[in-house]
């Protein structure tokens, strides 16, 4: 499978997963109306509004927020001319504006990209990854991060987080209403249908879990898409494949490994043995390497 086929497949799957999250919102709204009737009509926009304010505030200030959370420091071209030269090569190949560049003082090899759009992008590298990678490997990492910028993955993540947040807030509000005061009206609103009541309760319990699973799946597809897009930029799958092999062989983990930003790193600091594959924000690194090897054979 070549990089174009990979890109198209991952974009289709992302759209399908986002539609799935939309269906979850509809199911939770349906459960609310089934259980409580028209009295809950206003709750859906309230939950969506709360999620929008919390997530999109972070989205618009994502570069500053992530700089603070990771301890990354902005650098200029004079601080690392070789790194800037590689980044400029990739920006020319991709047609993207030059991003801001930052360094994280951390021995673990890793990198990330953030920023609300292509004109406000930032890519950052740990000192560990700069020490561990040769030129081709580092070019592959840069291309992967610039691919996230090109594919507007910060925006996609914000949409997924908003939807998952709205589902969680809505389910929590409705469950609390169910136990505290909703019982008086539920028989009237659901026409006393016990099957409808049980079905509604199951939706409210399971929907937030399903939303987290879908959000994680979207993140995995965006990582796969970034790998394929990186190859489109460099035409050198071996560089990124070799870089991922270096990451796979290294067991050190970045110090700043918050759940809220785990998905932005090229290798998630949380995707260890204790994390179920279904909840992982990244595909297994061995799978990513195998896909890139297949692209190499086509070349």
Q: Would you please indicate which residues are annotated as catalytic (active-site) residues?
A: 145
Tally Cβ neighbours within 10 Å of residue 93: 15
Tell me if residue 23 falls in helix, strand or coil. helix
Pairing mode, if any, of strands 100-104 and 122-126? parallel
- Round to whole Å and give the CA distance between 111 and 148: 12
Across 117-133, b (16+ Cβ under 10 Å) vs e yields: ebebbbbbbbebbbebb
For residue 290 the two structure tokens come to 């195998």
- Round to whole Å and give the CA distance between 143 and 145: 5
Closest CA to 23 of 214, 222, 195: 214
Output the CA torsion 205→207→210→215 (10° steps): -130
- Round to whole Å and give the CA distance between 96 and 149: 8
Tell me if residue 2 falls in helix, strand or coil. coil
CA 126, chain centre distance (Å): 20
Specify whether the CB–CB gap between 237 and 292 falls below 8 A: yes
């Amino acid at each position: 499978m070549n990089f174009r086929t990979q890109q198209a497949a991952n974009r289709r799957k992302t759209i399908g997963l986002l539609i799935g999250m939309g269906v979850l919102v509809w199911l939770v709204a349906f459960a609310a109306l089934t259980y409580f009737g028209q009295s809950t009509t206003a709750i859906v926009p309230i939950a969506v509004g709360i999620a929008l304010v919390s997530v999109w505030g972070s989205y618009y200030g994502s570069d500053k927020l992530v700089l603070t959370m990771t301890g990354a420091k902005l650098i200029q071209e004079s601080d690392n001319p070789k790194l800037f030269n590689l980044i400029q090569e990739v920006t020319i190949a991709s047609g993207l504006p030059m991003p801001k560049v930052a360094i994280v003082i951390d021995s673990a090899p890793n990198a990330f990209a953030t920023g609300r759009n292509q004109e406000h992008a930032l890519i950052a590298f740990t000192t560990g990854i700069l020490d561990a990678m040769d030129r081709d490997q580092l070019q592959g990492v840069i291309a992967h991060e610039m691919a996230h910028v090109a594919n507007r993955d910060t925006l996609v993540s914000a949409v997924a987080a908003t939807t998952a947040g709205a589902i969680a807030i809505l389910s929590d509000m409705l469950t609390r209403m169910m136990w505290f005061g909703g019982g008086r009206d539920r028989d009237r609103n659901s026409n006393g249908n016990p099957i409808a009541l049980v079905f509604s309760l199951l939706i409210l319990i399971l929907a937030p879990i399903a939303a987290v699973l879908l959000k994680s799946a979207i993140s995995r597809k965006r990582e796969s898409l970034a790998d394929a897009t990186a190859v489109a930029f460099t035409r050198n799958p071996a560089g990124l494949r070799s870089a991922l092999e270096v990451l796979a062989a290294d067991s050190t983990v970045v110090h700043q490994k918050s759940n809220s930003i785990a998905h932005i790193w090229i290798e998630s600091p949380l995707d260890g043995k204790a994390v179920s594959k279904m909840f992982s924000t990244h595909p297994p690194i061995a799978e990513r390497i195998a896909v890139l090897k297949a692209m190499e054979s086509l070349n």
